[in-house]
Structure 1
């Protein structure tokens, strides 16, 4: 009887002190987003969304790259309109799930982040990259305009800069990506992990309740007219003020002491 080889995992999850690190693990394919990897990542995001103990998520890639985007070989193996429509809708749902999570998501970027890989970076709340990292939406080079990555990209950088990247497929370096607003910072390669850890530490030092209120409010108000945004924000802020953390934080400030935040999974 022939032994069956186990299928290697496409995604690794590490939980530590309220921080979930999700590592794309197809290093031989530069972490291309195969159907299996998309499904694995969606499953973990859905799990995280309902876990009150999670405080922050870090998205990383194994091997030499963050992600090279969709798996082109897999895509060419199923040349049907219905397949492509389902695939890109699945990818769109994943990107929206990143922003729908109640906690911040930080992209830890090294190597290349191209096409849907660049879309992943743009869809995360925060992104820190190694100085040697490079970014592109390069589908145009193989005759495919990166339409779905354009949605996330154009919500991070200016219209003219986004369209230039989309229509030329050219790469930009990490310093340019930081200057344009695609990422928060470009750091020396050997300082990437420390920079990500420092940003995680900043988030963990804040009230879990306030962070959750804030992330949900931030993205929703961006789609509103100015007056509606202020009305919505006022209600969110008032509800946030009713949280025990707000009372504790203000009292601690007035008493000149460090606040003791409520555990995110504590019962009301």
Structure 2
């Protein structure tokens, strides 16, 4: 069985105790194993309480985030880069304190459209700064999973192959790829081949449809995705991510252009996603078994 997760923004974009509790309960009731939370400010959220509730419900947790413009670790402005490193260090600590092991998202540069092409100098600054964070994250038992996003949300890492080169340059053993089918569908020549080429560098996977709505109602070839995940032996978390104007986080909605209302019933959406991913992975495993069977006539 695959280990399945769901992004908390399917349930709520709020961070009050009641909103988080509702997201936790609905995640558990829908049959998911992990809840992904966008970065939570320990000054606002009771982290010990949340860690306790996660343990009581038997839910794993992943933290995701995108660096702000004033925290871009690829910046030539030393103060901006320093701020980005501090932001990442706090996110690592949050992940650890919640009992999690995965920090994902746009960790290598600022999240948002850049009107300029990336430079080698920016790449090198980003690598150097992330490498320092990776050392501290390793001590905390946390992996850094670099989300590879489309060109309108970052100018640095847009393909899995670029991510592999970046990881190689860090020299860190706890830096992996966070691959998202929504973004891959825009940038990769072939989703399945990109996953197969990334192989053991894949640390976290987002499953999202081309229009961010119900899985299977857009243009993504999910059969090829599931086949590739089985082929590379991926057995870590597969997390469903979907956005609609029904639930709005102002900052993320503006950056990712969430204008359309693609669903209103998040419970039905989540249950459908769990069934879709589970069946897709099971089907891919059965196909792989058939391909490997050596049958001789009796």
The TM-score with structure 1 as length reference comes to: 0.34
Give the structure with higher Rg (CA): 1
Q: Please report the TM-score for the alignment, with normalisation by the length of structure 2.
A: 0.32
Structure having greater relative contact order (Cα 8 Å, sep ≥ 6): 2
